[in-house]
Amino acid sequence: MSYCVNPVCPKPENPANALTCLACGAKLLLRDRYRMEQMLGQGGFGATFLGRDEALPGQPYCVVKQLRPTSTAPHVLKMARDLFRREAKTLGKIGSHPQIPRLLDYFEATTEFYLVQEYISGLTLQQEVKQSGPFSEQGVKQFLSECLPILQYIHSQEVIHRDIKPANLIRREQDRRLVLIDFGAVKDQVNPEAASLSDQTALTSYAIGTPGYAPPEQMAMRPVYASDIYALGVTCLFLLTAKTPKDMNYNPATGETMWREHVHVSDHFAEVLSKMLEVSVRHRYQSADEVLRALELEPYLDSLAQGMINTAVSPPNGSLAFSRSLARDDTPSEGGSLSRTAQMAKAIRERRAKMEPAASRLSGGRLAVSRSISGPLTTGQPSSAGKKGHTPPRKLTAEDVLTYYTKGRRDFGAQDLSNLNLQGANLESAIFHDAKLLKVNLQGACLSETNFSQANLNQANLRDAILTKAYLNHSDLQGADLRGADLSGAYLTNANLRGANLCGAILTGAKVTDEQLAVAKTNWMTVRPDGKRGIFK
Query: Which candidate, 293, 295, 245, places its Cα nearest to that of 268?
Result: 295
| pLDDT given for residue 199 in this prediction | 43
**Single-letter residue type at 530:** D
Strand duo 169-172 + 13-14: pairing: unpaired
CATH number of 393-537: 2.160.20.80
Rounded to 5°, angle at Cα 258 from 257 and 263: 115
Sheet holding 178-180, edge to edge: 122-124, 169-172, 178-180
Smallest CA-to-CA distance from 276 within 266, 286, 268 is with 286
Query: So what's the pLDDT on residue 347?
Result: 59
Nearest to 206 by CA among 63, 38, 113, 67: 67
Strands (E), 152-216: 169-172, 178-180
Domain residue ranges of the chain, discontinuous segments joined by +: 2-118, 122-297, 306-359, 393-537
DSSP state at residue 33: T
Burial of 435 (0-12, 13-18, 19+ CB in 10 A): buried
How do the pLDDT tens digits run along the chain, 537 residues long? Answer: 899 998 889 999 999 889 999 999 999 999 999 999 999 888 666 789 999 999 999 999 999 988 877 677 788 778 778 778 877 888 888 877 889 999 999 998 877 889 999 999 999 999 999 999 999 998 999 899 999 999 999 999 888 998 999 999 999 988 888 999 987 633 433 333 333 434 444 444 445 678 899 999 888 888 899 999 999 999 999 999 999 998 898 888 878 889 998 999 998 999 999 999 999 999 999 999 999 989 876 665 555 555 544 443 334 444 333 333 333 344 444 444 444 445 555 655 565 555 444 334 333 333 332 232 233 343 333 333 344 444 445 689 999 999 888 877 888 888 999 999 999 999 998 999 889 999 999 999 999 989 898 899 999 999 999 999 899 988 999 999 999 999 998 989 889 999 999 999 999 889 999 889 999 999 988 998 888 876 655
The span from the CA of 314 to the CA of 324, in Å, is 10
What 8-state DSSP symbol labels residue 283? Answer: G
pLDDT value at residue 83: 75
| CATH code for the structural domain at 2-118 | 3.30.200.20
Long-range CB contacts (within 8 A, 24+) of 95-100: 97/150, 97/153, 97/154, 98/177, 98/453, 98/473, 99/146, 99/150, 99/177, 99/178, 99/179, 99/180, 100/150, 100/153, 100/154, 100/179, 100/180, 100/181
Which residues lie closer than 8 Å to 525 by C-beta, 6 or more apart?
503, 504, 533
As a three-state string, the secondary structure of 452-499 is CCCCECCCCECCCCECCCCECCCCECCCCECCCCECCCCECCCCECCC
For 270-314, write each residue's pLDDT tens digit. Answer: 999 999 999 999 999 999 999 998 987 666 555 555 554 444 333
Angle among Cα 217, 90, 231 to the nearest 5 degrees reads: 30
Q: What is the structure's pLDDT at 357?
A: 45
Question: Which residues are identified as catalytic?
Answer: 163
- In this prediction, residue 348 carries a pLDDT of 56
Q: Across-strand partners of 103?
A: 117
Task: Give the per-residue pLDDT at 95.
Answer: 79
DSSP H helices, 67-212, are 74-94, 125-132, 137-156, 197-204
Residue 466 identity: I
Total-model pTM = 0.58
CB contact at 8 A, 81 and 113: yes
Architecture of domain 122-297: Orthogonal Bundle (1.10)
